[in-house]
Structure 1
Amino acid sequence: MSGKVFIALFSGINVGGNRIVKMAELRSFFEDLGFSDVATYVQSGNAVFRADKDDAATLTKQIEAAFEKKWGFHSRIMVRDADWFERLVAQNPYPEVAGEPTKLHAYALEREPTEEEAARLSEKCTGPEKFEIKGDVLYLHAPDGLGKSVFAGLIGRTLKVPGTKRNWRSVQALLEMAGKAGSGG
C-alpha cells in the first residue's frame, strides 16, 4: 500500500442548483488523475484519496487545474492530509458541542490569519457565536445553527483568507474515511 492519504475539500460546487458535479464523476476524475482508494462524501464535494506525492500544495494545483479543465469553472480546493484532520479534531476548542454537529463548524483556511485579521473578526463577533483560530483552522460554534448566524456570513469577507467550511459531522466522517483508506480496507 503505497502513498499517503489526503482529503480534498471543494468549495462552491452543488450550491443552489449551480455548478453541478456528480460525486460518481468526481470519483472517476480522481481515479483518472492516478489516485487510488478514492471515496467521496456528500454533495458539497469532499474526496478522500491516496496519492504517491507527499505535497498538499502540489496536489492542490494539479487537481484545481484538471478540475477547471474538465468542468469549465474554478473551484477552490483545500487538500489536507489525514494527520491534519486528526489534529483538527483533537484540538477542537468546543468539545461540549461535538455531539451537536450542526452547531460546530471548521473552516480550512488557505493560510494562518495574521493577528490583525483575527482581531478584525473578533470585533464582528458579538454573540451568540464563538470562534477560535488554531493555525490554518477556524472553529466556529454557532449555538443557533449556521443558517441563522449573521456572523457566519461575515467570516469570509472580514477575514479575507480564503477557506471552506464543513460541519462537525462531515469532519468526523472524513476523518473516519481517511482512517479506513489508511488501514487499507
Structure 2
Amino acid sequence: MIHLALLRGINVSGQKLIKMDDLKRSLEGVGFGNVRTYIQSGNVFVQTPETDPGVVAGQIRTAIMNSFGFDVPVFVIGKDDLEACVERNLFLQEEGVDLKKLYVSFISTEVPDQMITQLNLNFIEPDKIQLDGRRIYLKYHSSPAQTKLDNKWIEKSMNVQSTTRNWNTVTKLLGLF
C-alpha cells in the first residue's frame, strides 16, 4: 500500500535539516519500498504492506529519530484522503478565488464541526478557516507570512498537532500518487 507522509517542521528556517536523499535511504533501511520525496519540506511517499496510517507514522517517526536525532510529527494519509481533501475544499467554489492564498492544515485528531463556534475567529480575521475532520482549509487574505492563522494558533486553539501545505503542493502530491 502506498502512503503519503507529511513531516512537520523539517528544513524550515534552518531547523531540523534533513536531506531528502538521506531521508530516503533511512526509510528504505527500515523496510519501506518505493520511497519518493517531493520538494524539501517533508513530503514522502512510502510503500509498505502495513495498512494502518498510525503504525506507518510511528515507524517513520522512529526512523527519523534514530537516523537524525529529531522528533518530528508525521501525518500519514492515503490517496482517498487526499482526493477527499481536494474535493471538499469549499473555498474552491468561491468566484475568483486566488489559489495562491489557499492552504490545508493536516491535523493529528479529528476536530468536531461545532468547535468552530468555540474559536476566537476575530483573532485571525480577515483570514478564513473551514474545518473538515482531520483537515483545516485556510484562506489567507494576503499571505501566510502576514497572519496570525498559523500552526501555533491551530495547535493551541484546537489542542492538536498540525502541518500545513499550500494548495499547489496538495494538488501536486495527489498527482504523484
- Whether these two folds match at TM > 0.5 is yes
1:164-175 map, 5 Å: 164-175=163-174
Which residue does 1:31 correspond to in 2?
A: 28
What CA RMSD, in Å, does the superposition of the two structures yield over aligned residues?
A: 2.0
Distance 1:158 1:104, change over 3 A: same
2:130 to 129, 132, 140: 132
1:86-165 map, 5 Å: 86-95=83-92, 96=94, 100-114=98-112, 117-125=115-123, 127-152=125-150, 154-165=153-164
Gaps of 5+ in 2: none
Task: Tell which deviates more after alignment, 118-127 or 77-86.
Answer: 118-127
Distance 1:101 1:68, change over 3 A: farther
Report 1 or 2 for greater relative contact order, CA contacts < 8 Å, sequence distance ≥ 6: 1
3-state SS, counterpart of residue 46 of structure 2: strand
Gaps of 5+ in 1: 179-185
3-state SS, counterpart of residue 16 of structure 2: coil
Taking structure 1 as the reference length, the TM-score comes to: 0.86
Task: Tell which deviates more after alignment, 120-129 or 168-177.
Answer: 120-129
| 2:159 counterpart letter in structure 1 | K
The CA deviation at 1:99 is: 7.1
1:59 to 51, 56, 59: 56
The CA deviation at 1:130 is: 1.1
Taking structure 2 as the reference length, the TM-score comes to: 0.89
8 Å Cα contact 1:120-1:158 kept in structure 2: no
8 Å Cα contact 2:112-2:133 kept in structure 1: no
Task: Tell which deviates more after alignment, 145-154 or 63-72.
Answer: 145-154
> Deviation per CA, 1:121-160, whole angstroms, max 9, x where unpaired?
3534552111111111100000201111123352222122
Which residue does 1:13 correspond to in 2?
A: 10
